[in-house]
Amino acid sequence: MTADTPSHSPQTATGDAFDRPDDSLRNVAGAYRPIPFSRLALWAVVLLVAADFSAVVATNDNFGWPVVAEYFFSPIVLDGLFVTIWLAVVSMALGVVLGLPIAIARMSQDRLAQSLSWLFVWFFRGTPLLVQLILWYNLSFLFPSISLSIPFGPTLASWNTNDIITPVTAAIVGLALNEAAYMAEIIRGGLLSVDRGQMETAESFGMRPMRALWRIVIPQAMRSIVPPTGNQFISMIKATSLVSVIAMADLLYSVQSIYNRTFETIPMLFVAVLWYLLITSILSAVQARIERHYARGDRQIPQAAAKDRAATEQEAAG
């Protein structure tokens, strides 16, 4: 076993630093590096098992890979995929847009704002999303018509509930309100993580509270808001599959509609599984980039800092 580790021979000491007989041999730069046989063996075992498992999956006819391939890009599946993506994006965006003021309200000194935001979070986080979706979809049983009016006063406008609540609106309202409750808590946690002195400093320089939040506190809070928000978005992609219960044709609903006809249940579910995995992988990559952006100013991450610095340098020079 002749290990071809580099420069196994002792190096010549520069100067008189290594002044005793064995000193140059003791130089750790020339230390023997053992080959990690046990680690390599472990890798080999794991790769072997993985290869065997892949072969079993690939050759097992029950998985129906040709069927998976056939339907992977079928128009019905792609339509469902499109619905899943835009539904998740719209609901998530609304969730964040609603969650931010709710978080700010919960942290405010105002008792009314505090109570209302607490009530919102309490209800929408405390009941199952599935129940909320079905309730929104069946809102017409509770309120046959929806009207805009002054409390105990005259009605300004009125609509038939069934005209407003379609599967699409029920899905968006249900997902967005539920998401807003979670996002409010995530954002609140992020805002709490920023040193109180930051808000004080910004205000002592004459910034109005909203500007101080926007310019000083929120950018710092983003570091602890982004990771759980990424989680939420990925959950949201999968949560959209719940809307199949209110007859909304998302990705899962589309594959179901196909296997209800062809009885190729497993292959069609795999079509959905692969698409879900693909989207969430892309989202994870995007999340990593966003996290790097908000880590600027942190000593540990020199690349992001250097990039940002280059930008201001240009600005200063310009």
Partner 1 sequence: MTSGMAAVTSGRPILRARDVHKSFGDNEVLKGIDLDVFASEVVAILGPSGSGKSTLLRCFNQLERIDRGFVEVDGEQIGYRLSGGRLAPLGVRAVAAQRSKMGMVFQSFNLYPHMTVLQNVIEAPVGVHRIPRREAIATATDLIARVGLSDKLNAYPRQLSGGQQQRVAIARALAIRPKVLLFDEPTSALDPELVGEVLTTMRDLASQGLTMIVVTHEIGFAREAADRVVFMDGGHIVEQGRPDDVLVSPRHPRTRAFLSRFI
**Site residues for partner 1 per CB under 8 A:** 195, 197-198, 200-209, 211, 215-216, 219-220, 294, 296-299, 305, 308-309, 312-313, 315-316
Minimum CB–partner distance for residue 307 and partner 1 (Å): 11
In the complex, least distance from residue 253 CB atom to partner 1, rounded to whole angstroms: 43
User: CB-wise, 15 or 318, nearer to partner 1?
Assistant: 318
* Min CB(211)–partner 1 separation in Å: 6
| Smallest separation, CB 228 to partner 1 (Å) | 19
Torsion angle of C-alpha atoms 88, 92, 95, 97, degrees rounded to 10: -140
Rounded CA separation 30/13 (Å): 11
Minimum distance from residue 274 beta carbon to partner 1 (Å): 39
When the beta carbons of 20 and 299 are compared against partner 1, the nearer one is: 299
Output 93 or 301, the one with its CB closest to partner 1: 301
Residue number with CB closer to partner 1 (225 or 271): 225
Tokens of 143: 């309120």
At its nearest, how many Å lie between partner 1 and the CB of residue 315? 7
Element (H, E) at 266: helix 265-294
Long-range contacts at 307-312 (CB < 8 A, ≥ 24 apart): none
Strand-pairing partners, residue 31, are none
Tokens of 73: 């890009």
DSSP 203-257: HHTT--HHHHIIIIIHHHHHHHHHHHHHHHHHHHHHHGGGGGGGT---HHHHHHH
- For partner 1, give the closer residue by CB, 12 or 109: 109
Residue 172 near residue 87 (C-beta atoms within 8 A): yes
Residues 8, 188: Cα–Cα separation, whole Å: 57
Q: Which is nearer to partner 1, 220 or 280 (CB)?
A: 220
- Residue in 251, 247, 244 with CA at minimum distance from that of residue 271: 251
Q: Between residues 106 and 223, which has the closer beta carbon with respect to partner 1?
A: 223
Minimum CB separation of residue 221 from partner 1 in Å reads 10
